[in-house]
Structures are given as C-alpha cells and as structure tokens.
Amino acid sequence: MRVLWLLLLAGTLISGCASSQARPSRVGEVGLNSAFERALSEQDKVRYTYEYNARKAGAVIRSEPPGAVVEWMNREGIWVVVGSTPTKEIVIEATGKPELFRVSREGYLPQTQWVASTGGSKNVDVMFELHQDLPYGAR
C-alpha cells in the first residue's frame, strides 16, 4: 500500500511539473525590460533627428603656420583626424552645439578650441595660432 501511495504521489508531481512547463509564455515575461526598450527607442529617435534633420553648417580650420593636423573629438571621446590646415569645409551642426577641434604640428604646441555655429549663409572660419615648442635639450 505504501508503494502504491508513493507511485501515486510521484505521478501527481510529475504531471504537475509537466503542465506548468507546458503553458504558453507571454512576450515580455522573461528577459525584456519594457522601460529600457522604450528609453532606447526614444534615444534612437533623438539621435536620428539630430544626425539627419538638424541644420548643418560648414567650418574651415586654418592655422599659422599652415600644414597642421586637424582632429575632431567624436561622441565617444576619441580624436578623429579630419584633415590638415587649411581644411576644406568640415560639416558641423548649426544648432549651437559646440564641437571640439585640436590642431597640432611637430615642433609646435597643440591647441584645442570649441567651434559652434547657429546657422546662416557664411561658413565658420577658425584660426589657430600655434606657438613653437621648446627644443628638447632646452627643457
């Protein structure tokens, strides 16, 4: 009798486990954070609008002496080479948002400067005055 009771109990437990795992899962129940997904979607919309619908302007970077390397700091904080002075027109946002540029040349101290435009018909013209670095032995 005891063996029969244990078999009946085991059968009930097994059938209960099987039925609980057979239920259909619902979307968003496991592994989906809907608040995070909504925030990510909104962030993507803002980025798309900023990159493709925001007004653009041109910037020309010059230096004295010419021939310096021009770099731009991207969104991730990495310097990206965009040309040498004097540059051709570099596209920047015409929203007033400043972009950070660095100009450097061997034998001269590098300089950084924020460049911004609020639009208009004229390009932004930026001049960097580079100063000679001290010779290595003079330090």
Using a cut of 0.75, tell me whether the model's pTM lies above it.
no
Report phi then psi at 89, rounded to 5: -65, 125
Q: If we measure between CA atoms, which residue out of 92, 99, 97, 96 comes closest to residue 115?
A: 99
- The number of angstroms, rounded, from the C-alpha of 36 to the middle of its chain's C-alpha atoms is 18
> What gap in Å lies between CA 51 and CA 16, rounded to an integer?
55
Domains annotated on the chain, with CATH: 55-138 (2.60.40)
**Would you state the structure tokens that stand for residue 89, as one six-digit string?**
């027109």
Per-residue exposure over 103-118, b if at least 16 CB sit within 10 Å of its own CB, e if not: bbbeebeebeeebebe
Q: Per residue of the chain (139 residues), what is the pLDDT tens digit?
A: 665 566 666 666 565 554 455 555 566 556 667 777 888 888 888 777 767 777 788 888 889 999 999 999 988 899 999 888 888 888 777 777 888 999 999 999 999 999 888 776 677 888 999 999 887 665 5
